[in-house]
Amino acid sequence: MIAVFQIALTASPAKRLSDVYGGVAGTPDETKNVGYRQLILSATGATATIGASGVTATLGIVLAAAGAPLVIGPFPTGAVRLSDLYAIGAGATLTVLGVPY
C-alpha cells in the first residue's frame, strides 16, 4: 500500500518528517515509523530543503516549489524512515509519497 503525507514547513526550526505521524514533535512514534522502499518528495508554495538534523535553507537538497520531485530509493534491502529526514522552508508544504516494505 502506498502512503501519502503532507507537512507544512517553517523557516526555523527544521521539522522531522516523522512528525506527520502525530505525537510529540521531533520524536518519532516507533509504532508508526515504518521503513520505506522508496520515497518521493515534492514541494509546493515555496522552496523546501531536505537533509539530516542539521539541515538549513542552504545545506541540504533544495526542492523548488512545483519543481521536479526528489526520489530516494528504491532500496532492494534496508530501508529509509521518515525519522531519518528533516526539512525546512518558510511557506512550503512538502508532499511525501512512500512505498513501504
Query: What per-residue confidence (pLDDT) applies to 24?
Result: 84
Give a three-class secondary structure readout of the chain. CCEEEEEECCCCCCEEHHHHHCCCCCCCCCCCCCCEEEEEEEEECCCEEEECCCCCCCCCEEECECCCCEEECCCCCCCECHHHCEEECCCCEEEEEEEEC
- Give the per-residue pLDDT at 46: 97
Predicted TM-score (pTM) above 0.85: yes
Domain count, the chain: 1
Q: Name, in order, each residue with C-beta under 8 angstroms of 75's C-beta and a sequence gap of 6 or more.
A: 37, 38
User: Is the pLDDT assigned to residue 3 strictly greater than 90?
Assistant: yes
Strand order in the sheet with 93-100: 3-8, 93-100, 36-44, 70-72
Residue where the block lists cell 530516494: 72
Of residues 64 and 33, more confidence is placed in: 64
CATH number of the domain within which 86 lies: 2.60.120
43-69 mean pLDDT = 95
Residue 78 has pLDDT above 90, yes or no: no
Q: Would the pLDDT of 77 be above 90?
A: no
> What was the pLDDT predicted at 55?
95
pLDDT of residue 22: 87
**Residue pointed to by grid coordinates 518528517:** 17
Full domain range(s) for residue 74: 3-26+33-100
What are the tens digits of pLDDT across the range 9-38? 999 999 999 999 988 888 888 888 899 999
pLDDT of residue 68: 95
